Chain A
Amino acid sequence: MMSPVPDSDAIITARGLTKVYGQVRAVDGIDFDIAAGESFGLLGPNGAGKSTTMRMIGGTLGRTGGTLGVAGLDPEADGPRVRAHLGVVPQQDNLDEELSVRDNLYIYGRYFGLSRAYLREKIPDLLEFAQLTEKSRAKVDDLSGGMKRRLTIARALINEPRILLLDEPTTGLDPQARHTLWDKLFRLKEVGVTLVVTTHFMDEAEQLCDRLIVVDHGRIQAEGSPRELIARHSTREVVEVRFGADRNAEVEPRVRDLAERVEVLPDRLLLYSDHGEGVLEALAERGLHPVTSLVRRSSLEDVFLHLTGRSLVD
């Protein structure tokens, strides 16, 4: 694994970061630097150690080993001071559903000791950002999932944090709500907020992250921009062909030489190649006529599945 040189611009720095629960090494010696103003992604399957890393950054979970610096402070020793710099969007919403939208923002602001005068100015701005101005007095219980998520994100901005930690920000939302959120988050980055995002959605990572690490079994499997990762770990294009469930495996030896890598799935064959159309023509020349065929660009999802495997991890 590459070991990044300490970076003076880094707002978050981890070296050999480790968390052990009993026999399980949830986070197993990871290194990364996050530059101020960057949008940084932690990608990985469930249980890869993403949320554990996030909690260590916020200082709400101690570490077993390694060093961690957030805004020049050690979160374990200086948790409250670190959290004064942060906005946190947790995986599970923890809004008070019995209270109004506005009261939720007010209460959260008071947790940061913010004055009533400041909050009076700030809350309308946050409501506008979250497109909840009309809902200001509505009970949170009555909001849709997307609205609650927007409120949770707006709430995290109450102290004007330089760093926003987002733990699976759009899990469970419909496509419209996800795109609205991505748009909002992207614009926050434009005005200088550092985003740290965990996700297992590849489209989310491609949309949001300048740079990311792929984590599995508590270790970094790859690091780079989405584009770099695709270039390094996949081909330009992927050809998906279906010969029928019983024939896919049997065809595989006859096409192995046509692509850099061939993957047999129960329902289709994936041929990784820089020239998808060429592969299709070669198939036809060999007298192989798939039931369906598709040439598409390689995505981060291909990289992810290549690095972390296709089998279910529970």
Chain B
Amino acid sequence: MTDLTHLTRLARSGTAPRPEQIADSVRRRGVLLYVETWLVASKTWALSLLIVAVVEPIAYLLALGWGLGNLVDGRGSSPGGVPYLVFVGPGLIVATAVMAAHQESTYPVMAGFKWRRLFHAPRASPLTPAQIALGQLGGTMCRYVVQATLFWIVLVAFGATRSGWSWLVVPIAALTGLAFGACVTAYAAGLADEGYQFAMLQRFVVMPMFLFAGTFFPLSELPGYLHWVGWISPVWHGTELARVASYGASMSLPAMAGHLAVLLGYAVVGTLLSMRRFESRLSR
């Protein structure tokens, strides 16, 4: 008999919200709910990520900022009139955010649709595919923020910032991560299967951006016919802005607005496309 009581409570405890209330609540805050579950699910790898997120910047700054930096500064040819460490720091923050975005937006997206089917679980709830897409991008955005914040702290510890506004590199890096990540998410969500595409993306998009989009030297050092790599790359726009924030690199207001507009443009287009791709992928 206690069993029947238990079952009745299971089926109708009287404490569950009515379906209409559930639907209203999810309609209003579904994206935040999904971001929260993304964060809960991330606890399986959060610790290892945090360790990497501290160790990686230290390694980069030691090797490039000090090692290579001493060489560059010794020749008196440091770009931007600041020590090389100060120059390269904000570039590295942006570049690592974009590499994180590549990681989060390729295999995990394919896994969500196909291998682990994790997007299909919320699909059976009142969440819409568009909310799932936004929540997914929101969750990954949280990762970029955490990672960039840790990098910025290391940067400050290395004495590699020159401005009271240097903390702005965190939102700039996160926005750059989103600009790239949203576009890649939309791309991954449209793939039926992963053959070689993600590896190609790594080799032919992420690596060139890392090498040729102003992270290690100003774009102007490259021959003119390669400048377009920077122009179309979110990394260059993010890096230029991050340098203004980090050490007050000189830039006109319209130029700043232009860089910001490009990043926002990528982010908005990528997000809208992701929402559409999630909708069609989860509705068949």
Chains A and B come from one and the same complex:
yes
Q: Which residues of A does B touch, CB under 8 Å?
A: 58, 60-62, 71, 79-81, 83-86, 88, 90, 92, 94-99, 103, 106-108, 110-114, 118, 121-122, 125-126, 128-129, 156-157, 159-160, 187-188, 190-193
Kindly state whether residue B22 has any CB partner on chain A within 8 Å: yes
- Give the Cβ gap from B261 to chain A, nearest Cβ, in Å: 34
Contacts of B34 in A (CB 8 A): 111
Task: With A60-B283, A61-B284, A96-B118 as known contacts, state yes or no: A108 contacts B9, CB within 8 Å.
Answer: no
- Give the Cβ gap from A167 to chain B, nearest Cβ, in Å: 10
Closest to B37 in A: A107
Kindly state whether residue B75 has any CB partner on chain A within 8 Å: no
- Of B23-31, B59-67, B162-170, B175-183, the stretch lying at the interface with chain A is B23-31
Kindly state whether residue B125 has any CB partner on chain A within 8 Å: yes
Chain B CB within 10 Å — which of A84, A96, A111, A118 has the most?
A111
- Give the Cβ gap from A143 to chain B, nearest Cβ, in Å: 15
Q: Which residues of B does A touch, CB under 8 Å?
A: 3-4, 6-13, 15-17, 19-20, 22-23, 25-27, 29-30, 33-34, 36-37, 40-41, 44, 116-118, 120-128, 282-284
Contact A125 B23 (CB under 8 A): no
- Give the Cβ gap from A124 to chain B, nearest Cβ, in Å: 11
Contact A129 B16 (CB under 8 A): no
- Give the Cβ gap from A125 to chain B, nearest Cβ, in Å: 5
Docked complex Cα distance between A53 and B204 (Å): 44
Contacts of A113 in B (CB 8 A): 17, 22, 25-26, 29-30, 33, 126
Docked complex Cα distance between A131 and B52 (Å): 39
Contact A108 B17 (CB under 8 A): no
Contact A98 B26 (CB under 8 A): no
A–B complex contacts, Cβ < 8 Å, 30 sampled: A62-B283, A80-B23, A80-B127, A80-B128, A81-B126, A84-B19, A84-B22, A90-B124, A92-B117, A94-B117, A94-B120, A98-B44, A103-B40, A106-B40, A108-B121, A112-B22, A112-B26, A113-B26, A113-B30, A113-B33, A113-B126, A118-B17, A125-B10, A129-B10, A160-B11, A160-B12, A160-B16, A187-B3, A192-B12, A193-B11
Contact B20 A81 (CB under 8 A): yes
Name B's interface SS. Answer: helix
* Interface residue from B7, B13, B41 paired with A129 (Cβ < 8 Å): B7
Task: With A60-B283, A99-B41, A129-B7 as known contacts, state yes or no: A111 contacts B19, CB within 8 Å.
Answer: no
Contacts of B284 in A (CB 8 A): 61
Contacts A60-B124, A159-B16 aside, 14 further interface pairs with beta carbons under 8 A come to A80-B23, A81-B19, A84-B26, A95-B121, A108-B125, A111-B122, A111-B127, A113-B17, A113-B30, A114-B22, A126-B10, A159-B22, A190-B4, A191-B12
Closest to A71 in B: B19
Docked complex Cα distance between A84 and B128 (Å): 12
